[in-house]
């Protein structure tokens, strides 16, 4: 019984998307460690809070999509706890509120240890998270979903993670967060490419719906290239140490995603391409984190 419900909860959190919250915390913390020792308790609290907020966003998204009649048993990519596992929508909503409550408690701890502005920023992020999936005109139904997610979960989380460690903000952290934001936006773009044929009749006006499949795939590939180019420029300008270039090892995995989407003939193959995009982010972010740690040790 426990394993059954754990499996449902795990699917409800949508694990492939959690890299979008894990990665910016790692990168923001790694950037801060160039100047300050690790504050372990705050790092763990920030990491858990970010993961829970991302999971909560996935839950409210599933609840909202079910209420609008968009999710079906045949769809690939959704957690399916409502349409496939038979979990009551009210139960999903309850778990959502519990997850948010835990996140808020962790946010209180972080704010009390650092600054009230961390709490203000976190609350504003939660408001946008809700507006992303819910409300009369969800952001996820518009062409601005990728930009919204990229900014809120890229630069914002990177800078919060940096601030709670260093006690200040920096231009270096802000600039270094740009590739992370782009790659997080890429996850949403890949998600919308995968769901293109379902979103179009459902009334969504996502970027792939507007651009078409071919142009959307080209845009996705361009985002990958730009992200890695920015990393190289940051090293050339000595904004980051040369050790940060270890993140380039993730590029071959990114380069093949274009062909995965182009050659995809069914929903399963589209889902594989989406997961590959999600894994690209964590590969890039984890390698960058390692590079930052090694670079800090040579200072």
What is the pLDDT at residue 220? 97
170-212 pLDDT per residue, tens: 999 999 999 999 999 999 999 999 988 877 876 788 999 999 9
Residue 156 pLDDT: 92
- Look at residues 93, 71, 273 and name the one whose alpha carbon lies nearest to residue 191: 273
The pLDDT score that the predictor gives to residue 197 is 83
Lowest model confidence (mean pLDDT) among 89-93, 127-131, 142-146, 273-277:
127-131
**Integer Rg of the chain from CA:** 19
Contact indicator for 25, 50 with CB cutoff of 8 Å: yes
Per-residue confidence (pLDDT) for residue 125, from 0 to 100: 81
pLDDT at 68 > cutoff 80? no
* CB-based contact 298:241 (threshold 8 Å): yes
When comparing pLDDT for 192 and 83, which is higher? 192
Residue 3 has a CB neighbour count (10 Å cut-off) of 7
Contact criterion met (CB below 8 Å) for 146 and 209: no
Report how far residue 212's alpha carbon sits from residue 215's, in angstroms, rounded to the nearest whole number.
Answer: 6
Cα separations (Å) of 15 from 108, 235, 245? Answer: 25, 32, 27
Assess whether pLDDT exceeds 80 at residue 2.
no
Please report the pLDDT score of residue 77 as a whole number. Answer: 55
**What pLDDT sits at residue 79?**
57
Distance CA 279, CA 78 (A): 17
Contact call for residues 256 and 230 (beta carbons, < 8 A): no
Banded model confidence at residue 72, pLDDT cuts 50, 70, 90: low
pLDDT for the residue 98: 92
The answer to whether residues 110 and 156 touch, using CB atoms and an 8 Å cutoff, is no
Give the residue with greater pLDDT, 12 vs 178. 178
Tell me what percent of the residues of the chain surpass a pLDDT of 90: 57
Distance from CA of residue 270 to its chain's centroid? 19
Q: CB-based contacts of 102: which residues, under 8 Å, 6+ apart? A: 52
- Angle (CA) 290 291 293, round 5°: 65
Closest CA to 157 of 134, 143, 176, 135: 176
Q: Which residue has the higher pLDDT, 38 or 140?
A: 38
> Across all residues in the chain, what is the average pLDDT?
88
Of residues 218 and 34, more confidently modeled = 218
Give the global pTM. 0.88
Whether the pLDDT of residue 229 is over 90: the answer is yes
Q: Which residues contact 215 (CB under 8 A, 6 or more apart)?
A: none
**Which pLDDT belongs to residue 80?**
63
Higher pLDDT, 297 or 158: 158
pLDDT at 75: 57
Other Cβ atoms within 10 Å of 215 Cβ, number: 12
Q: Under 8 Å CB-to-CB from 137, ≥6 apart: which residues?
A: none
Kindly report, residue by residue over 86-121, the tens digit of the pLDDT.
Answer: 778 888 888 889 999 999 999 999 999 999 999 888
Q: What is the pLDDT of residues 234-260, one digit of tens each?
A: 999 999 999 999 999 999 999 999 999
- Cβ density class 231-240: b for 16+ within 10 Å, e for less: beebbeeebb
């Amino acid at each position: 019984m426990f394993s059954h419900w754990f499996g449902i909860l795990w699917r409800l959190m949508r694990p492939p998307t959690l890299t979008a919250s894990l990665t910016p915390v790692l990168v923001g913390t790694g950037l801060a460690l160039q100047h300050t020792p690790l504050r372990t308790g705050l790092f763990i609290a920030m990491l858990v809070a970010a993961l829970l907020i991302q999971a909560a966003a996935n839950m409210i998204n599933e609840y909202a999509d079910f209420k609008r009649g968009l999710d079906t048993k045949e769809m690939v990519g959704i957690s399916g706890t409502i349409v496939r596992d038979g979990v009551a929508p009210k139960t999903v909503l309850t778990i959502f509120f519990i997850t948010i409550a835990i996140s808020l408690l962790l946010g209180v701890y972080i704010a009390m240890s650092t600054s009230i502005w961390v709490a203000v920023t976190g609350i504003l992020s939660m408001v946008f998270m809700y507006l992303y999936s819910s409300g009369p005109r969800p952001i996820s139904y518009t062409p601005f979903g990728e930009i919204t997610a990229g900014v809120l979960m890229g630069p914002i989380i990177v800078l919060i993670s940096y601030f709670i460690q260093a006690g200040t903000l920096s231009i270096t952290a802000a600039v270094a967060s740009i590739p992370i934001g782009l790659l997080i936006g890429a996850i949403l773009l890949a998600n919308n490419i995968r769901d293109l044929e379902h979103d179009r009749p459902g009334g969504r006006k996502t970027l792939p719906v507007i651009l078409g499949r071919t142009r959307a795939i080209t845009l996705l590939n361009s985002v990958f290239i730009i992200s890695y180019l920015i990393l190289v420029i940051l090293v050339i300008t000595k904004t980051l140490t040369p050790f940060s270039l270890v993140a380039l090892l993730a590029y071959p995995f990114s380069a093949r995603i274009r062909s995965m989407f182009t050659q995809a003939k069914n929903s399963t193959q589209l889902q594989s391409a989406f997961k590959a995009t999600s894994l690209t982010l964590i590969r890039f972010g984890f390698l960058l984190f390692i590079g930052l740690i090694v670079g800090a040790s040579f200072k």
